[in-house]
A = this chain, B = another copy of it.
Amino acid sequence: MARRSKIEAEKTRERLLKVARELFEAQGFSDTKVSQIVERAGITKGGLFHYFPTKEALFREIWTQLQGEMDAEARQNATASRSRSDPYAAFLAGCQTYLSWAARPDYQQIVLIDGPSVLGLAGWYEADNDLGRRNVNAGIEYLARKGIVARKRVQPLAVLVHNALNGAGFAMARNEPGVTVESVLDAFEAVLKSLR
């Protein structure tokens, strides 16, 4: 076999991303072998390494892709309809979106579990700061402007809230009794309300 058209090539690349994402989700990064990926994609190792320099680079692109999807949805929900005029509602909407993503198995395995170990603490944090936490920061900032929380507590509170949501996803994945998207969001709102 030899060279394909540019359209075919783009399809191959997308097929690699799709197949790898499925495998990474199901088996984790280290248990997913390059041979498995290329087999399912219908090509050979040479093809994969033509598009991605390393297996880690492939993972990184999938990681970014997932985060991007989540961010897009969070932005959309946060600025939707009635939330537009109510910053607090926008904040809650963003949190809810984030929470529902943190409950997804693919998001957990790829972003939350393998992400830190594959990308390293620095790399993971760098990208995560730009996405998940921006919404949280905006929400806390709003509470500070309203005088509900002290300004000096904005940063630590944002950290606490962001990670509280992150970890809640794991608990939901385990089907812990009494821990669902609804109950967590309910408890979360109760805490925020008590702040007001």
Contact = CB atoms under 8 A, between A and B. Distances in A.
A121 B105 CA distance: 11
A157 interface: yes
Contacts of A184: 156, 159-160
Copies of this polypeptide in the complex: 2
Contacts of A179: 155-156, 159
A167 B173 contact: no
Per DSSP, chain A at the interface is: helix
Interface in A82-100: none
Interface size class of A (residues with CB under 8 A): 35 or more
A187 B144 CA distance: 13
A83 to B, nearest CB: 22
7 contacts: A109-B121, A113-B116, A150-B190, A156-B168, A156-B188, A160-B191, A161-B164
Interface of A: 28-30, 108-109, 112-114, 116-118, 120-122, 125, 149-150, 152-157, 159-168, 170-171, 173-174, 176-179, 183-184, 186-188, 190-191, 194-195
